Copies of this chain bind each other. A is one copy, B any other.
Amino acid sequence: MPDSAPKSEVLSEIEQQLVSLFADGVRVAGLPKSIGEIYGILFISREPLALDDLVVRLQISKGSTSQGLKMLRTLGAIREVEGPDARRNYFEADLELKKLVGGFIREQLRPHLKSGDERLKRIEDHVKAEEDPEVREFYDLRVKKLERWSKQARLIFPLLQRVLGE
């Protein structure tokens, strides 16, 4: 059994700074710090890392790490690759901004927008049932406005993708 490459247990100054930068960075997207840390250390690592490496180097629990990796995988922000020890799963960061943003839109933004539209539909029904025509008219205006917003949001996504296509 090859005593597989023992990664340094402490982060270099640069690694620390970068990990912390990402940790804060992902918060604007509403993601937990640990996700940023994991992505960050993978981003700055020259070779792929396995779960245990992350646990040791970032000093976070196995649980968090496992969950973080799952999320990052579904976002398409990291990918699984082969590594020195055949029975572990190794990961490396995907560096295409387009892909990261795309994953975020697909997994976080779109679902919200969708459920919002559904709720809006239900509100529309209530509006139809409003007695007072003046009030109904007003509510209808507002609902229409929201529908327009939703449509604009949907328009923006593909545009974003295109602009980020280098």
Interface residues as binary, A14-30 with B (CB distance below 8 Å gives 1, 0 otherwise): 10011001001101101
Q: Is A62 an interface residue (CB 8 A)?
A: no
User: Are A14 and B116 in contact, with the CB atoms below 8 A?
Assistant: no
With both chains docked as a complex, state the minimum distance between the C-beta of A152 and any C-beta of chain B, in angstroms: 6
Instruction: Tell me if A120 counts as interface (CB < 8 A to partner B).
Output: yes
Work out how many copies of this chain go into the complex: 2
Residues of A within 8 A of B (CB): 13-14, 17-18, 21, 24-25, 27-28, 30, 43-44, 46, 95, 97, 108-109, 112, 116, 119-120, 122-123, 126-127, 130, 135, 138-139, 142, 145, 148-149, 152, 155-156, 159-160, 163-164
6 pairs from A and B in contact (CB 8 Å cutoff) = A28-B109, A97-B148, A97-B149, A97-B152, A155-B163, A156-B163
